[in-house]
Amino acid sequence: MILLTNAKMIRRDNELISADLFLQSGKISRIASQIGPEAGWKVIDCNGMLVTPGFIDPHVHLREPGFPDKETIRTGSRAAVKGGYTTVFAMPNVSPCPDTPQRMADMVLRAQDAPLDVRFYAPLSAGEKGEELTDFQALKEAGAVALSDDGKGLQHNGLMRQAMQLARAQDLVIAAHCEDESLLNGGYIHDGLYARQHKHRGISRSVEDVQAARDLLLAHETGARYHICHMSTHRVVDLLELAQSWGARVSGEVSPHHLLLTDSDLREDGRYKMNPPLREEIDRLRLIEGLNTGVIQVIATDHAPHTSEEKSRGLAGSPFGITGLETAFPLLYTYLVKPGYITLQTLVDAMTKGPRQVFGLEAGELAEGAPADLTLTDLRDEYVIHAADHESKGRNTPFDGWRVKSRVDTVIKSGRIILQGGTILD
């Protein structure tokens, strides 16, 4: 039994109010302005720290099995805990790909000792090759919570329609990396001013927009639950809003780097290379607007660790992807909430309530009877991000050296303290 005293909660009007929370049997038993402690209770004085549901990231890459030099479930889980997360969804682009019930069961087994809730996507297609659909029902029974060929767009229109019909029958969300490969033309950064000035091959917005439009039409037609991964263009926000107005069961996510950076921030440095790429200011502002209006419900990091050697090959030669689990909240609080681009409530909702609603989770709510998955954040703590100090094996972040305000102090999972004073409790 744990009593949290002197915490701050967000009211609907974005005001912070003082609150005490009593945790018992893995649940939030009581929330009140003041709760008197009783004998045998562990009392934690929050000293005015913000209490929220534990953060949920439905888009991470833990690289296990197959790529332990980049990340493992253990190191990725520790990075997630440091970032305030209590639930993450890992993508299936590992080796071997978990495209059979046996392999999916192995993934679930690998994560059983993780300090937080690690869940797994099953691939839409065998080996993520986009040719033959996997057995959605069998993979769900083996532990898969959603479907994705992340890293690749499913190119065949008819196959995606069939996938949506089958996913609807199993009530599984399809989370899609929207990329029409016929429009790529060898691009690897945004097709904008920087690409032209530095003679790089560009990825046009249409690469994402065309496939997103197709999928939204098919989702409306089939009634499938469909989620757009790492949205990056202003037009894809417009398309998602349109499909939602039809009543389609569709949602989308945005990553911190697309909310904070544009192609004007690019350097000849592999840490600035991700897919989809950094776009332009019109895109960044529309993504922020989409968050504010609720068109975009989810913030997901797309945490994608790589070795330093891999990321040393510049924009042309480095693999796509950056890390993000340990930096997401402080970056977005410092550079979006503090200047007034979004409210604190919007940020927290997109990291908790949004994923909860999209994926039908029990966690992600701060209410009596809800799971005691909680994050305490000191909004007053100011520091500089040092990637070398991160728990993740990946150091590939363009935000190394950025000054931020707010630090995750304590994380509680199912009523058990797993991070306290910024230190992971093994």
Q: Which of the residues are catalytic? A: 302
Q: What are the CA-CA distances from residue 118 to residues 28, 108, 182, 224, 276 (Å)?
A: 21, 8, 34, 24, 24
β-strands 117-122, 85-90: how paired?
parallel
DSSP 305-322: ---TTGGGSHHHHSPS--
- The encoded tokens of residue 188 equal 């690897």
298-323 in b/e burial notation, b at 16+ Cβ within 10 A? bbbbbbbbbbeebbeeebeebbebbb
- The encoded tokens of residue 354 equal 């949004």
**Cα 144 from Cα 105, distance rounded (Å):** 9
Give the Cβ contact number of residue 196 at 10 Å.
10
β-strands 2-10, 42-45: how paired?
parallel
Report cis status (omega within 30 of 0) of the bond before 65. yes
Residues making up the chain, counted from first to last: 426
**Which residue in the block uniquely carries the two structure tokens 């097709």?**
191
Extended beta strands in 199-262, E state:
202-203, 226-228, 250-254
Q: What are the CA-CA distances from residue 238 to residues 212, 252, 293 (Å)?
A: 11, 11, 12
Least Cα distance to 371 among 35, 59, 54 occurs for 54
DSSP 19-83: EEEEEETTEEEEEES-----TT-EEEE-TT-EEEEPEEEEEE---TTT-TTT--HHHHHHHHHHT
**Cα 370 from Cα 10, distance rounded (Å):** 17
